[in-house]
Amino acid sequence: ASLKVVTLLGSLRKGSFNAMVARTLPKLAPAGMDILPLPSIGDIPLYDADLQQEEGFPARIEEIAQQIHEADGVVIVTPEYNYSVPGGLKNAIDWLSRLPEQPLSGKPVLIQTSSMGAIGGARCQYHLRQILVFLDAMVMNKPEFMGGVIQSKVDQQTGEVVDQSTLDHLSGQLTAFGDYIQRVRR
């Protein structure tokens, strides 16, 4: 059976470069891997334990959790905000972490950051890894992907990555992630 991998996008804006990276992934997937986007994290309310108690989990969080449960792996594709994880992504992870059945526990996770800066959101990656330690996710160590100066590596018209070395790096990383998923399962 083929591997099902879902992408969790950390940027909310329409013209997002990270959305372009996420959009490019399906065609770069190795044979036997299907890559599908998770629903947007944009309209999830700020985590509030009172809200959780009074109204339960947001439908969007239940939906994302269900799709993560059904997936073999998750790719988190995100910008870096102020040297760290964007608040919206942290908020979604905070909600997911309160579910009785933890969707990210033991789940293979791949991190991809891209930014307009030279080092492609490198600083965000280690903050995100730290958060995922508490969630007991199985985050792949290497190879890493940090898409620096990402605005010069995409086609704004098609909204996809076009730079060949970036494409090669991404497809190599996805192949490694497929192997990693198999290793984690054994």
- C-beta separation of 105 from 132 below 8 A: no
Q: Which of residues 42-81 bind ligand FNR (CB under 6 A)?
A: 79-81
Interface with ligand FNR includes 117 (CB under 6 A)? yes
Distances (CA, A) of 92 to 6, 31, 104, 111, 183: 15, 30, 12, 16, 28
Ranges of H-type helices in the chain: 17-28, 49-55, 59-70, 87-97, 122-134, 164-185
Interface with ligand FNR includes 125 (CB under 6 A)? no
Segment near ligand FNR (CB under 6 A); pick from 15-23, 54-62, 90-98, 134-142: 15-23
Interface with ligand FNR includes 115 (CB under 6 A)? yes
State the minimum distance, in angstroms, from the CB of residue 152 to ligand FNR: 12
Task: Rounding to the nearest 10 degrees, give the CA dihedral for residues 31, 122, 86, 68.
Answer: 30
CA distance 117 to 17: 12
Per CB under 6 A, the list member of 37, 102, 116, 144 interacting with ligand FNR is 116
Nearer to ligand FNR, 39 or 117 (CB): 117
Per CB under 6 A, the list member of 6, 7, 8, 18 interacting with ligand FNR is 18
State the minimum distance, in angstroms, from the CB of residue 17 to ligand FNR: 4
State the minimum distance, in angstroms, from the CB of residue 34 to ligand FNR: 23
Interface with ligand FNR includes 173 (CB under 6 A)? no
- The SS3 assignment for 115 reads coil
Q: At what angle do helices 87-97 and 59-70 cross, to 10 degrees?
A: 80
CA distance 19 to 16: 5
Task: Give me the residues that bind ligand FNR (CB under 6 A), please.
Answer: 11, 13, 16-18, 79-83, 115-117, 121
